[in-house]
Structure 1
Amino acid sequence: MSARAYLARARLVPVVTIDDAARAADLSCALGDAGIRCAEVTLRTPAAWDAITEMVAVADETGVDVGVGTVLSADEVTRAHAAGAHFIVSPGFDPATVARAHDLGLACLPGVATASEAMAAQRAGCDTVKVFPAGLLGGVDYIDALSAPLVDLGFVPSGGVNPTTAAGYLAHRAVPAVSGSWMVRRDDIAKGRFDTIRAASFEAAALVGLA
């Protein structure tokens, strides 16, 4: 399945920053209970790789595919694949990282901020890119401008996406999914507030048409 087709089914990619891997399985359960189908675990904390392992271990039970975010190198792509990740996300476009993901059969979502980067990603075989930071770049209007000449490319906004903006993004023909962290706040995860996360995830799933 192409990255764009996969993301069109997912609709929403929660961005998880986790400080304690012991919280990971409960987090995955809360997301799965709400009908959310995937999560991006960012490599921003020492606990990230262990959390990815824990979430992959319960993925069949929760129904939540695990992706690895903040991927900066081909070596990290290799490690993500070995850990059982379904996809990788990068803050920018790096040809070696994209090539390694494609070699391993992983869906790959590189970040772009310009038309030149989007074109380079498309030439490297990507059918979808992450627009980051979407809010600062101009939101839906910016994606509309980028997608006008790049009609075959999908765009996933990330950065500043929230319940107020998500539906507007998803209404755009070039946006298969949105990426955001409002339903998985770092402090809520750290303090084990999974009822809060579950409730926010149900609301987010309904907002993007998963419920």
Structure 2
Amino acid sequence: MSAVDAQALLRGHRIVPVYTPGGVEEAVAVARALLAGGIGAIEVTLRTAVAMDAIAAIARDVPGMKVGAGTVLDLAQLRDVQRAGASFAVSPGSSAELLHGAVDLGIAYLPGVATGSEVMAALAAGHRLLKLFPAQAINALELLAAWRGPFAHARFCPTGGIDAALARDYLRQSNVACLGGSWLTPADAVRAGDFARIQHLAREAVALAAD
């Protein structure tokens, strides 16, 4: 059995908003606003008690949005997010249990990497699209340049500290397939129910990715 191709699943989705849900109805509204702005994939983090229900609601109620689960830390969570309807899963790091468990479960998985050894372990397990985290804290632009040679077949989704001003520099890297960022779902806009602003930020992000 081989790993599900996360890169193929997310092809065309160059910016993946990272969103921590405060409620189920809120999550659906955020996903609809992003989709209306041209963003077709979202990572919902498992950092609140409503996250599983939010993933299930987006998967059910927002056709056209690929919903992923972030902050997946163990195999039990991986099983749970797949049952909830997530089409992909993302981790801040990786473990042998998750690297091989994702293959066994048949779910697209972006393991978190920050070192060459972690990249090698992920590639050996069959994963080709890897979350590079925490991007800004580890000077990911230089890492991406250094890794183009030894890891020519790997593609990365840098996440962590990236905003609209930095996104273009990351997207220009030949080994970056997509990137994750929370700037599209700012907390103040979410709290205020300002989904028009989120839609506007999504449109800006789509234009930025197309440059």
- TM-score, normalising length: structure 1: 0.94
Structure 1 consecutive aligned stretches of length 4 or more whose deviation exceeds 3 Å? none
Gaps of 5+ in 1: none
Pairing 1:34–2:33 present:
no
Pairing 1:4–2:13 present:
no
Query: How far has the Cα of 1:3 moved from its partner?
Result: 1.2
1: distance between equivalents of 2:180 and 2:173? 15
What do residues 136-168 of structure 1 show as CA deviations (whole Å, max 9, x unaligned)? 111312211123211111111100111111111
1:52 corresponding residue in structure 2: 55
State the one-letter code of the partner of 2:117: S
Q: Percent identity?
A: 39
1:74 corresponding residue in structure 2: 75
2:86 corresponding residue in structure 1: 85
State the one-letter code of the partner of 1:10: H
1: distance between equivalents of 2:148 and 2:31? 33
1: distance between equivalents of 2:62 and 2:159? 24
1:14 corresponding residue in structure 2: 17
1: distance between equivalents of 2:140 and 2:94? 19
SS in 1 for 2:157: strand
SS in 1 for 2:73: coil
SS in 2 for 1:91: coil
Query: How far has the Cα of 1:122 moved from its partner?
Result: 0.7
Query: How far has the Cα of 1:187 moved from its partner?
Result: 3.1
Q: What does 1:35-184 correspond to in 2, within 5 Å?
A: 35-60=38-63, 63-184=64-185
2: distance between equivalents of 1:141 and 1:196? 33
State the one-letter code of the partner of 1:192: G
2: distance between equivalents of 1:151 and 1:34? 33
State whether residues 10 and 41 of structure 2, in contact with CA within 8 Å, keep that contact through their aligned partners in structure 1.
Answer: no
SS in 2 for 1:67: strand
1: distance between equivalents of 2:171 and 2:6? 16
2: distance between equivalents of 1:95 and 1:13? 25
- TM-score, normalising length: structure 2: 0.94
Higher mean C-alpha deviation, range 181-190 or range 128-137: 181-190
2: distance between equivalents of 1:166 and 1:143? 14
Query: How far has the Cα of 1:8 moved from its partner?
Result: 3.2
2: distance between equivalents of 1:30 and 1:101? 30
What do residues 53-99 of structure 1 show as CA deviations (whole Å, max 9, x unaligned)? 11111132xx1111000000111111111111110000001121122
**Number of equivalences:** 208
State whether residues 132 and 159 of structure 1, in contact with CA within 8 Å, keep that contact through their aligned partners in structure 2.
Answer: yes
State the one-letter code of the partner of 2:111: P
